[in-house]
């Protein structure tokens, strides 16, 4: 017992010494970090990316088939295929088309003929040149019954005449001008020489789907299989004959996990360097990881409250001022922060923020219930003299029914909207229905008054709002609101037939101004998704808007794990003669 004070004293002393040592180390690191480059007589030594290293991603999902013709319904397959295969074109972070397998293309003045030239140095991973025959072969398969592409895409291709000009040139002839056609040229091209002997109906079971050969920056190496025979991952290595800029990272390993929680656990154990999708249930835990960098991007989906502008039972919804009052009475930020846990951004336009066509000067609608009430009063909607909580005009109360999907999230959102509109004197009765029934029955038949819906823009970087808001789509089309505005329709008509992006930008700006003035529907929010990457992965960049989850890998060629020292020469003045 006599030694206890001394023991405690020595223990405290050791901790003090340790703290001092740690502090000195930290100071030294900070001092060194203030010296990003070493100077020499010849110039500055800078760290430069070096080729090499292994990047392992925790991919949420499971492997189906590594075949772009069959990956439509499997995001995990599309993620892997993004590095294995190429399309004629790709889209940048703003949704503008860029050359990929095609080195160039041209369009006739009438907008009906597209000529594409395939890169001379484009070859398959087995060394066979890529030709126009491969493109035509893939399109024919895409149109077939064995393809998992949606029927509307198959229908479009059935109307396009595809002509082989020579080995490296191909022509597409459209029945009428349609600029968004370029959207449909991002499909992964398949090798005819390897698959032409496979009957289309047998393609889903072909060995090619687990031993793919593509044209992308990485080639298939091998599968990871556990003791039970389950595929747990796939390994890719650099392609030595890729036509583009070769990536820095030498090997990519995708490991499959059933949930975001499982993938995050794998990250914590050091098994992976990234988590492909961080869902809200693990968001808090992921944010606590000090070395996990977050990349948050908008999802190509937008939520609206649609109004049936031709329903006589709610004729007051035909008034743009009533619709504006309803917009001002919505606290969208509250919905995002409380129900969606902050995983969305407010939208004020039917075009996605971040798109080249988005007009940043579009009118913003802030939550202002007082202004909403004033606007309704000015339109003659007041609380009846006998009392009550619902405003009325000429005996017609502001009462209507809003349909919504019957899942928990949409139900909470609908209930919040109901309460917020009740606060301005508008009564909304809610009707929950399965989503398919809502779209296929109620919206398609125009048998609704108002509806809470999501519009999905996945894999369609060209905004083209025509299907949802043009007059011609009001009957039998997707203009479910039956908005009938000639000026807006003319802007949409012109924008989908001109290839001049400057003119298209101006036309879409005008359309958005009209939309904000009329508000045929109320834009609510755009969801966001989060991607986690360890900080030791350098050069990583992810766009603010992803048209597909695989787009997060669009800049993967510039990511790196290793660095080297490189001498940057300093210019030395020379004597003038």
| CATH 3.10.105.10 domain range(s) in the chain | 301-528
SS percent in the chain: helix, strand, coil, step 5 = 35, 25, 40
CA–CA dist 347, 363 (Å, integer): 11
Main-chain dihedrals φ then ψ at residue 348, nearest 5 degrees:
-125, 5
Question: Which class in CATH covers the domain with range 44-67+216-291+535-569?
Answer: alpha beta
| Range(s) within the chain of domains with CATH label 3.90.76.10 | 86-208
Residue found under tokens 């990047």 = 55
Q: Cα–Cα distance between 548 and 95 in angstroms, integer?
A: 11
Starting at the earlier edge strand, list the strands of the sheet with 562-569: 38-40, 43-50, 562-569
Taking the domain 301-528, which CATH number applies?
3.10.105.10
Q: Report the alpha-carbon distance of residue 459 to residue 556 in Å, rounded.
A: 19
577 residues of the chain, pLDDT tens digit each:
333 332 222 333 333 433 333 344 443 433 333 344 445 455 566 789 999 999 999 999 999 999 999 999 999 999 999 999 999 999 999 999 999 999 999 999 999 999 999 999 999 999 999 999 999 999 999 999 889 999 999 999 999 999 999 999 999 999 999 999 999 999 999 999 999 999 999 999 999 999 999 999 999 999 999 999 999 999 999 999 999 999 999 999 999 999 999 999 999 999 999 999 999 999 999 999 999 999 999 999 999 999 999 999 999 999 999 999 999 999 999 999 999 999 999 999 999 999 999 999 999 999 999 999 999 999 999 999 888 999 999 999 999 999 999 999 999 999 999 999 999 999 999 999 999 999 999 999 999 999 999 999 999 999 999 999 999 999 999 999 999 999 999 999 999 999 999 999 999 999 999 999 999 999 999 999 999 999 999 999 999 999 999 999 999 999 999 998 765 544 433 333 3
Looking at residue 44, its pLDDT comes to 64
Non-local CB neighbours of 482 within 8 Å, separated by 6+ positions: 308, 309, 310, 446, 474, 475
State the chain's mean pLDDT as an integer: 91
What is residue 130's predicted lDDT score, i.e. its pLDDT? 98
Q: Would you say 91 and 289 are in contact if contact means Cβ atoms under 8 Å apart?
A: no
262, two tokens: 């499982």
Whole-angstrom Cα distance, residue 415 to residue 399? 15
Beta bridge partners of residue 455, listed in sequence order: 302
Q: How many CB atoms lie within 10 A of CB 362?
A: 19
Provide CATH code, domain 86-208.
Answer: 3.90.76.10
Strand partners, 437: none
Model pLDDT, residue 566: 63
| Other CB atoms within 10 A of residue 470 CB | 23
Interval 11-23: pLDDT, tens: 333 334 333 333 4
Q: What is the pTM of this model?
A: 0.88
Question: Could you tell me how many residues make up the chain?
Answer: 577
């Amino acid at each position: 017992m006599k030694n206890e004070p001394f023991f405690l004293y020595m223990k405290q002393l050791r901790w003090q010494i340790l703290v001092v040592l740690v502090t000195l180390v930290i100071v030294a690191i900070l001092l060194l970090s203030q010296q990003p480059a070493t100077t020499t007589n010849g110039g500055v030594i800078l760290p430069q990316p070096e080729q090499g290293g292994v990047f392992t991603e925790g991919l949420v999902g499971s492997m189906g088939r590594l075949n772009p013709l069959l990956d439509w319904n499997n995001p995990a397959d599309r993620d892997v295929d993004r590095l294995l295969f190429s399309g004629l074109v790709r889209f940048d972070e703003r949704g503008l088309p860029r050359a990929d397998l095609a080195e160039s293309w041209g369009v006739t003045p009438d907008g009906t003929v597209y000529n594409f030239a395939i890169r001379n140095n484009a070859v398959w991973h087995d060394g066979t040149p890529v030709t126009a025959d491969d493109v035509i072969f893939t399109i024919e398969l895409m149109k077939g019954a064995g393809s998992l592409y949606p029927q509307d895409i198959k229908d479009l291709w059935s109307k396009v005449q595809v002509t082989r000009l020579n080995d490296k040139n191909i022509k597409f002839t459209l029945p009428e001008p349609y600029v968004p056609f370029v959207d449909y040229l991002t499909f992964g091209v398949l090798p005819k020489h390897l698959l032409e002997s496979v009957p289309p109906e047998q393609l889903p079971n072909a060995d090619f789907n687990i031993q793919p050969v593509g044209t992308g920056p990485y080639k298939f190496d091998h599968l990871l299989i556990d003791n039970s025979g389950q595929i747990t991952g796939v390994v890719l290595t650099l392609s030595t004959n890729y036509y583009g800029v070769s990536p820095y990272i030498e090997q990519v390993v995708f490991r499959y996990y059933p949930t975001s929680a499982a993938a995050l656990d794998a990250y914590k154990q050091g098994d992976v360097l990234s988590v492909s999708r961080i869902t809200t249930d693990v968001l808090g835990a992921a944010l606590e990881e000090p070395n996990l960098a977050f990349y948050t991007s908008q999802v190509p989906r937008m939520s609206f409250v649609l109004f049936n502008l031709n329903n006589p039972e709610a004729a007051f919804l035909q008034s743009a001022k009533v619709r504006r009052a309803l917009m001002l009475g919505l606290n969208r930020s509250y919905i995002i922060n409380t129900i969606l846990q902050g995983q969305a951004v407010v939208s004020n336009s039917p075009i996605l923020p971040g798109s080249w066509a988005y007009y940043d000067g579009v009118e913003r609608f802030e939550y202002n219930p007082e202004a909403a009430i004033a606007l309704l009063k000015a339109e003659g909607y007041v609380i009846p003299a006998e009392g009550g909580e619902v405003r009325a005009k000429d005996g017609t109360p502001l009462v209507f029914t809003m349909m919504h999907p019957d899942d928990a999230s949409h139900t909470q959102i609908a209930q919040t909207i109901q309460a917020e509109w009740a606060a301005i004197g508008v009564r909304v009765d809610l009707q929950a229905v399965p989503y398919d029934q809502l779209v296929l029955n109620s919206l398609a038949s125009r048998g609704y008054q108002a509806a809470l819906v999501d519009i999905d823009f996945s894999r369609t970087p060209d905004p083209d709002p025509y299907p949802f808001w043009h007059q011609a789509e009001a009957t039998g089309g997707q203009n479910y609101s039956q908005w009938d505005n000639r000026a807006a329709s003319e802007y949409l008509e012109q924008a989908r037939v001109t290839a001049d992006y400057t003119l298209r930008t101006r036309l879409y700006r005008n359309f958005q101004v009209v939309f904000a003035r009329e508000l045929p529907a109320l834009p609510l929010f755009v969801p966001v998704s989060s991607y986690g990457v360890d900080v030791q992965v350098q050069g990583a960049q992810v766009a603010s808007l992803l048209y597909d989850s695989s787009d997060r890998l669009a800049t993967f060629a510039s990511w790196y794990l290793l660095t080297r020292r490189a001498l940057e020469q300093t210019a030395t003045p020379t004597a003038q003669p």
